[in-house]
Homo-oligomer: A and B are copies of this chain.
Amino acid sequence: MEGEPTLRLRVFDLNCWAIRYLSKRRQERVRLIGDTLRQEGFDLVLLQEVWSEQDYSDLKVKLASCYPFSHYFRSGVIGSGLCVFSRFPILDTLLYQYSLNGYPYMLQHGDWFGGKSVGLDRCGVGVTAPLLSLSLQLHAEYCRDKDSYLPHRLVQAWELAQFIRHTSKAADVVLLGGDLNMHPEDVGIRLLCGWTGLQDAFVEATDIKGCKNGCTLVPNNCFTDKSELLPFPLGIRIDYILYKAISSFTVKCEELKTTMGPAPGTDIPFSDHEAVMATLHIQRQGQPVGATLGTADPALADVVTEARTEVGVGLRAAQRQRYSSGRMAVLALLLLLLQAVAALGTLAGLGADQPFPKLSFCLLAFLALGVLVLATGLHLFHTMEVKMLHGTEDQMWMALRALQERP
């Protein structure tokens, strides 16, 4: 075992906050990120929120010599924002879009337009069978006390966990880096790690450097929204590097590091998030290790139950919204029909003394039509939401049954 070759893998993960026209000093920061990546020479770089393909292309040109392999995942209206740069060949890719990702009408929270998804790369790293690396982002949390997106984020965490379980079987090592938008103690993180057996590099690391508690959203960073961080004076940890050895390999985290505000030699940080960097040791073991679940089953059953309860809350809210949008559509349709009858009556000369002036009549009809179209669209959307929440609830129930039946 001692004689087996070891792979030392240096991984970089960053939510780049590179939204065209909206993110402050974007181009400068993307240049800075590119320069640093070129200097540092990581093995694998997982980036999120690279919303502009031009930024990706610029990075690709700049990094071509040290990271010859790269992939940009396209999805949604403005893209997935996910890209990967690698020193090792990328053999294959797969994009999985979460079935729920916020609401299209919540324009101020643009998550829906981002087409949030998980991008999977199979990299040939030599020592192991293809390494599965995943770059991803989950739905943002806008208000922790009254988090109306929690059910969507839990559906995403569940789908992510299921996706990892189903795709990771042939890999020796799974590596996940991304902005999970969840605190370490949140039910979504516990669900993801428990149900897949992924380990948190921050928890496992022998040596930790950078922000206290591995925080990646810190008040020190000049781009963060200070008011959001008021309840958390040290910051919060929402960006993670998680890993798992599947077969006859072991993975150990030697060092975990975060950036701390301004990049060296400049006055600005890379992004509004801090970058997470991990140095992992991958070594072949004598005996194949079975795919293990992370926590003991009774605890895992509790986590799944907790997540299922939250999904249930979301399901009932979605059902209410589906009902009220449907009722609104029916009312608008009735109004339109009433107006059509009145108009036909006038045409037939029945009610020549029509009380409404023509203009108001037309305005009302257009208003009713507008409401009808919007309410129907909303009804369809919430119907889909109900279906997906219901489906996830079912799957979690099936998982609970499997956990209980396990000897």
Contact = CB atoms under 8 A, between A and B. Distances in A.
B388 A94 contact: no
Interface in A80-104: 90-97, 99
Given A94-B163, A358-B359, A402-B91, A383 B77 contact: yes
A167 interface: yes
Interface string A383-401: 1100110110011001100
A319 interface: no
Contacts of A165: 92
B162 A388 contact: no
Contacts of A162: 92, 94
Interface string A116-145: 000010100000000000000000000000
Interface majority SS (helix, strand, loop, mixed), chain A? helix
A327 to B, nearest CB: 18
A75 interface: yes
A363 interface: yes
A113 B74 CA distance: 23
User: What is the count of identical protomers in the complex?
Assistant: 2
Interface residues of A, number: 48
A61 interface: no
A383 to B, nearest CB: 5
Which of A92, A113, A163 has the most C-beta atoms of chain B within 10 angstroms of its own C-beta?
A92
Contact of A363 (B122, B362, B384): B362
A398 B359 contact: no
Nearest to A104: B380
B75 A99 contact: yes
Contacts of A169: 169-170
Closest 10 CB pairs of A and B: A169-B170, A74-B391, A366-B366, A74-B387, A166-B167, A169-B169, A94-B166, A77-B380, A359-B359, A77-B383
Interface of A: 71, 73-79, 90-97, 99, 113, 115, 120, 122, 162-163, 165-167, 169-170, 358-359, 362-363, 366, 369-370, 373, 380, 383-384, 387-388, 390-391, 394-395, 398-399, 402
Given A97-B99, A122-B166, A362-B363, 10 more contacts: A74-B387, A74-B394, A75-B391, A76-B387, A91-B402, A92-B165, A92-B166, A94-B166, A120-B166, A359-B362
